[in-house]
Amino acid sequence: MHRRNGLVLFLVVALMIATSTFGQDVYTEDVGDVVVRVVDRYLSKCHVVLLTTDIQSFQVSDIIRLLERTGHWKHSETRVVVLGRRPYVKEVLLQHCFRNTAYALYIAIDYDNSVKTFPWQGNLFRWVYKEAEPQTKARVWVYRRCLYCNNGYADVEELHHWRSKLNSITSSHNEGSLFYRQDELYNFRGHHFKYIAAQYFPYIDFPSRKDDVAVPVNPYDSVDFRLAETMAQKENFTYTIYKEPNTSWGEDTDGVWSGLMGYLQREDVDMSTLVVPTDSRLKAASFIRNYPSDHVIIASLKPQPLPRHLALIRPFTGTVWIAVLLAVLVWVIIFWVLQRLSSRITGSQEIRFDTALLYGWGVLMEVHPKVPTSATSGQVMVGWWLVFCMVIYTGYESALISHLTVNRASTQPPESFEDLLHADGWEWGLDSFLWTGLPLEYFTRHKDPVVMEIYKHLQIIDPLQGLKKVLGGGFSLLTVMSMVTIQGSSYFGDDHGNMPFYISKKNVPIATMFGWGFRLGAPFYHRFNKLNLQLDAAGILTLWLQNVTTKKIKDNRAKAELDGGTAFVEYTQSEEGHVVLGLDHLQGIFYLLFFGLLQSGIGLLGEILINYL
């Protein structure tokens, strides 16, 4: 085994020397020596060389089985040269072990029936080197295996034909090289490919139904469907897309895959639509990159503004409000006590407690009544009280303006798994569509304590029901961005595409990429990969993804309107213009006014009772 130009090279030489029915000796040493010389000189660049006379011989069967066991079929570009009898051309080149082989030649040699010896006995390679006897007559044909030349099916083509007679050689041959050029190799000529698909919009979409086996489906407009149609028209092939019955990408059980990956591993199909490559899946199929991966995100309710009826008291915290009220009460008491002492010493008029209280409260409310005292001590206290009230009022006014102009949220939505665990009373669920394949492996096999704790309390929920539950608050849905974009804009968004959902800036990179899967050794793998890269480089795949998503959202919204509207209409509040300060902001002060009137009424009743008792 050697490595040449990055390819695994094999050299298998099988010498099957037919025994003579006439009892003649077999010159095996001469034949073996010449075989080595021929291989070294003419076939040194061949990857596989088979020499045989009888396709039914047990040696050939062993070689075929050996090629199958060693995985020769996984290497479609391996060169194969077979030397044998003409009747066995198709039987050899169309062997199942060569099903993926793109480059295979068969050199057929036939001798005149008058010759009494088999060509393998003694003089074959002397004849090849023009050392044969003059009466020797032979023909040599060169055939080539083709993958799609028989109306899309594999067949063989004759390339060269030599005739030797009495030391003269005549030849006829077709134009072209021994092996196909790339443009010739990938002319599929109407070949029919089989796809296997698991539904995942916007990449592949088709009617949903329950089936026990894979059945053909007619896809809806989706990115992979457009891609398959474009490739089929350009490369001249037809195809059928089969639905994976359980919408499962499969699980690995001791190297044996189920689901979509199982169809590729068993070679029941040629390729699949969207699938995520992983280390274990690379052993069962080949992959090409079509799109960036759709990471798992955390969808939560957008931060909601605080209640508007609390707008007037929100600038200060509860502690500050209590401190201000205590400061007013303490200042009034001290001011009243000092003025009573001063009036007794100086004989001036005493100040009533209610007068001191109303003065202190009025200054705090920026009402400046007449100073109720002429005493020096009282005026000093009034001066510092004015300074205190100015600072408090300025701070309140600036904080009130800030709270009215900036939409502040009551809670911050979670950005990561850690935030979900630290949020009190918070719940989370996983999109049930993702509970298969790679996301299932991620949560069930991950060793990170945070992920394990998330998995422990994980709820499996339908994506649409999950988004409805998110609207209630205290719940987050783990899903992919494409699902939130389509479902959220379709059933919960407004005409401008605004949704009530907050998408976490941090995502969970479960998958590295999305792409197509191919059965191992598929000879058309490189051609499909090249076409896909060309479309991606031109921006076609990105454009298709946007177009398909937009069209789906419009269709869903039109259908939802016929069914009675969307959930978002009930959730949002319509506003005429931008109102900074409305009645709902000021309702708190009206409550306080009514409370004051109630206190006044109670005071009036008290005065009446006192006067009549």
Encode pLDDT of 351-377 as tens digits: 788 788 888 888 888 777 777 777 777
Contact 364, 328 (CB under 8 A): yes
What is the CATH T-level fold of the domain 191-277, as seen in this structure?
D-Maltodextrin-Binding Protein; domain 2 (3.40.190)
CA 251 – CA 438 distance, rounded (Å): 9
Go through the chain and tell me how many residues it has.
613
Q: Which residues pair with 105 in a beta bridge?
A: 81, 144
pTM to 2 decimals?
0.69
CA 327 – CA 318 distance, rounded (Å): 14
**pLDDT at residue 408 tops 80:** no
Chain-centre distance for alpha carbon 106 = 46
- Give me the DSSP letters along 340-383: HHHHHHH-PPPPPHHHHHHHHHHHHTT--PPPS---HHHHHHHH
Q: Do 191-277 and 299-303+411-510+546-571 agree at the fold level?
A: yes
- Which residues are CB-contacts of 224 (< 8 A; sequence separation ≥ 6)? 197, 203, 204, 273, 274, 290, 516
What is the CATH T-level fold of the domain 299-303+411-510+546-571, as seen in this structure?
D-Maltodextrin-Binding Protein; domain 2 (3.40.190)
Contact 308, 416 (CB under 8 A): no
Give the per-residue pLDDT at 238.
Answer: 96
In the chain, domain spans: 2-183, 191-277, 299-303+411-510+546-571, 308-405
CA 529 – CA 298 distance, rounded (Å): 33
Encode pLDDT of 487-500 as tens digits: 888 888 877 778 88
Encode pLDDT of 139-181 as tens digits: 888 898 989 989 899 999 888 887 765 555 555 555 556 666 6
For the ranges 110-119, 148-157, 403-412, 435-444, the lowest mean pLDDT is seen at 110-119
CA 54 – CA 154 distance, rounded (Å): 22
Give the per-residue pLDDT at 569.
Answer: 43
Encode pLDDT of 319-338 as tens digits: 888 888 898 888 888 888 88
DSSP state, 122? S
Look at strands 137-150 and 153-165 and give their pairing. Answer: antiparallel
